Structure 1
Amino acid sequence: MNTIVVGQLQRQFQDYIVSLYQQGYLDNQFTELRKLQDEGSPDFVAEVVSLFFDDCAKHFYEFYYRIRERPDHVDFKQVDSGVHQLKGSSSSVGARRVKNVCIAFKECCDVQNREGCLRCLQQVDYEYKMLKTKLQDLFNLEQQILQAGGTIPQVSMN
């Protein structure tokens, strides 16, 4: 084990995760999720986040279909139901920006604002893709630390 390399990777990890909180991508729920990960389930967070991203993709497909493909027959109640589910799942993994866009998306559904829904759909898709890329980078950094023989540092964001 090269302690210098491990130390550098651990500092890089800490700085990167702090930046994700500071930029509003993550909130304290992500910290709580990370606390559930241990040696017995080293990929727990990555697996939960992967399920979240799969869920997002299904919702986006449904939203695009309901809002874009059927402009004269938008069922805002069904879109709202899906947005509510997405808001809940994003909240449970600590995806702060995604959750916040879902709040605005729900408001557009409530007043049946199709254009507003389309804007929110684009924004939530953007935030989802940004978060997915950033978390993949974070998980890759975790793997580099483990492969170098180190441990993943706990980062407190209180």
Structure 2
Amino acid sequence: MLGLGMDRLRADMNRLLALLFHQGVLDEQFLQLQQLQDESSPNFVSEVVNIYFHESEKLLKNLRALLVEREFSDYKKMGIHLNQFMGSSSSIGAKRVRNVCVAFRAASEQNNRAGWVFESFGAART
């Protein structure tokens, strides 16, 4: 009986992953990450993804703090946070997040705060 439940769970997970790939949320890097999981580390992928979410939360808080400053001028610091976020997103295959980081970084390099606002609204719809 337990085997049937696990089979159903595995099938649901595979359908969800297929959807995420189809929508461009994930890329082939996530598949490579999955290949690193084996019997000696059966929770490898979930541990890496949990670390990614934890670190992403910190980076997003830092980015938000920079964006809400009235007299914002530290574009270099913004770029550093975006590079970190882009790198970690690339390493786990979070394609859509990485693409948003690239757009924000381009706006940051041009010292274009209005571009960040535009990209954030545009990225939310893609």
Range class of TM-score, shorter chain: 0.7 to 0.9
Which residue identity does 1:62 align to in structure 2? N
Deviation at 1:100, TM superposition (A): 0.4
Distance 1:71 1:8 in 2: 51
Given that 1:102 and 1:120 are in contact with CA atoms closer than 8 Å, whether structure 2 keeps it comes out as: no
Query: Over aligned residues, Cα RMSD in angstroms?
Result: 2.1
1:111 equivalent to 2:110? Answer yes
**Deviation, structure 1 residue 10:** 3.0
Structure 2 residues not aligned, in runs of 5+: none
Match of 2:14 in 1: 14
Deviation at 1:2, TM superposition (A): 5.0
Q: Distance in 1 between matches of 2:121 and 2:55?
A: 17
Residue equivalent to 2:76: 77
Report how many aligned residue pairs link the two structures.
Answer: 125
- Any idea what SS the aligned residue of 1:112 has? coil
- TM-score between both structures, scaled by the size of structure 1: 0.70
For structure 1, list consecutive stretches of 5 or more residues without a partner in the other structure: 128-158
**Aligned partners of 2:58, 2:30: CA distance in 1, in Å?**
22
Compare relative contact order (CA 8 Å, sep 6+) and give the higher one, 1 or 2. Answer: 1
Q: Report what 2:43 is aligned to.
A: 43
Distance (Å, rounded) in 1 between the aligned partners of 2:14 and 2:6: 12
Q: CA deviation at 1:16?
A: 1.6
Q: Relative to 1, partners in 2 of residues 1:110 and 1:4: Cα closer, same or farther, differing over 3 Å?
A: same
Seen in structure 2, the aligned counterparts of structure 1 residues 9 and 57 have a Cα distance that, compared at 3 Å, is closer
The residue number in structure 2 matching 1:64 is 64
Which range is displaced more, 111-120 or 90-99? 111-120
Taking the aligned partners of 1:123 and 1:64, their CA distance within structure 2 comes to: 17
% identical equivalent positions: 34
Distance change >3 Å, CA 47–CA 119, structure 1 → 2 = farther
2-side partners of 1:5 and 1:26: how far apart?
Answer: 26
